Chains A and B, each alone.
Chain A
Amino acid sequence: MNGFWVMLRREMAMAWGRGGGPLLALTFFVATATLLPLAVGASPARLAAVAPGSAWLALALASLLSLERLFERDYEDGTLDLLALGPVPLEAVAFAKGLAQWLTNGAPLALAAPVVAVALGADLRLVPLIFISALIGGLGLAFTGGIGAALSLGSKRGGVLIAVLVLPLFAPPVIFGAGAIEAFAGGLDWHPALGLLSAYGLAAAALGPFAMAAACRNALS
């Protein structure tokens, strides 16, 4: 267990340290959302209708940004060898990486999501649900994204490959996340969508590390 904490601390320190991963993702998120009024027109009624959905779309895209560095850096400088010989199995290493990705990227993005949605004209009543759904959805995005990052190890242009691999897997959280908000705004029952979103996030966190570890072992051999 000690090894797991050592790993988690390092991942967090590296994410917050030089390179500004979370800031980069946040800026990208806000910039993408800013383009929306330019693309669909600035009419408040039209913007308000698409605000929660577009916030979710921008969230999914912003989550892709730092994925490339999740395993690639450790692979390039040989650290992955060291991680494979550590006190905890690679599955736990992958879990720590996914968790750190969620805490350092998913959580700040979840804080920004309601702000962006409201700026686009979403109803203030939606704020708590947008935050909760972005936070839970971020868990799924971090761990499924991690699978793509591990699978693309060793390929040049890993970033684009990750996006191609991972974006289809981002469909369920986008559907459930935006769906929950849409349902709430329309006065419908939003619990099932949020429940499915949570199920997706937990399943990704539970199963993703095994896929990531297998992909890492394959890249090392």
Chain B
Amino acid sequence: MICAVHMQNLAIIRGERLLFQGLDLSVRKGEAVALTGANGSGKTSLLRALAGLIRPHAGDVRFEGPQGVLEAEDARSQGVHLLGHQDCFKATRTAWEELLFQVQWTGGTEASARAASAKLDLDRLAGLEVRKLSAGQRRRLALARLVASPRSLWLLDEPMAPLDTARRAVFGDLMAEHLAGGGMIIAAVHDPLPIAARACDLSSLDGPAQ
């Protein structure tokens, strides 16, 4: 269980380009942060660095549990959900097969997968192959994983883009519920989140002009 994430003097370089530097940000239980910034300002890279998939150029990321500092690897393997642009589904498997695998893989159970499927109104789609789902339906399937397996830090990359207005409201409720249960959310967004969130603008942390 992660209770807080601290980023200290973080800088990320992709290719030869410095995306941002000197990022200091702490997120604690029950807080949400909305990452903003122009295209290419490093929102996705920051989320991937927090998930441990890319290594920051400078600075460090620390995870804090109830009993003090956590080993980064343990924290990520048990406490982090990453929802990127791609939704990680095999086109020829059924929605239910894919959801069940993802939920079990991230620490949930079959019962919690069923509950999440009902909550996100996916029961009707469960038997369909993923390739027959629309972009919005696939995104709801991906969100069901977050709801079904309890991990405290959600890293979301443009989570709402394919969702319709009604589903955005539902998703807002889910995020509020997660925060109320002691979770944390860091989301890269262009549109404002439907919940109260601190803003963090990566464009203001640009490197020196090149």
Contacts and interface: CB of A to CB of B under 8 A. Distances in A.
B183 to A, nearest CB: 16
B53 A81 contact: yes
Interface stretch (B97-105, B119-127, B170-178, B192-200): B97-105
A18 interface: yes
A77 B90 contact: yes
B92 A17 contact: yes
B88 A77 contact: yes
Interface stretch (B29-37, B58-66, B78-86, B160-168): B78-86
A221 B13 CA distance: 11
Contacts of B118: none
> Which of A3, A82, A220, A221 has most B Cβ within 10 Å?
A82
Contact of B51 (A6, A79, A85, A89): A85
Interface stretch (A7-15, A42-50, A163-171, A189-197): A7-15
Interface in A1-30: 2-3, 6-7, 10, 13-14, 17-19
Interface in B66-90: 73, 76-78, 80-82, 84-90
Nearest to A10: B101
B106 interface: yes
B132 interface: no
B105 A78 contact: no
Contact of A87 (B87, B90, B105): B105
B84 A81 contact: yes
B25 interface: no
Interface in A81-124: 81-89
A7 B90 CA distance: 14
Interface in B2-58: 48, 51-55
Grouping DSSP codes into helix (H, G, I), strand (E, B) and loop, the B interface class, with mixed when no group exceeds half, is: loop
Q: Chain B: interface residue count, which band?
A: 20 to 34
Contacts of B77: 85-89
A89 B78 CA distance: 11
A13 B105 CA distance: 15
Contacts of A82: 82, 88, 102, 105-106
B92 A85 contact: no
Interface string B98-116: 0001101111000000000
Given A3-B105, A78-B84, A86-B77, A221 B54 contact: yes
Contacts of A7: 105
A14 B87 CA distance: 18
A77 B89 contact: yes
A18 B92 CA distance: 7
A85 B84 CA distance: 13
A77 B90 CA distance: 7
A221 to B, nearest CB: 5
B87 A78 contact: yes
Given A6-B105, A18-B92, A77 B54 contact: no
Nearest to B86: A78
Given A79-B88, A81-B84, A82-B106, 14 more contacts: A2-B104, A13-B97, A78-B85, A78-B87, A81-B86, A82-B105, A83-B105, A84-B51, A84-B53, A87-B77, A88-B77, A89-B77, A220-B54, A221-B54
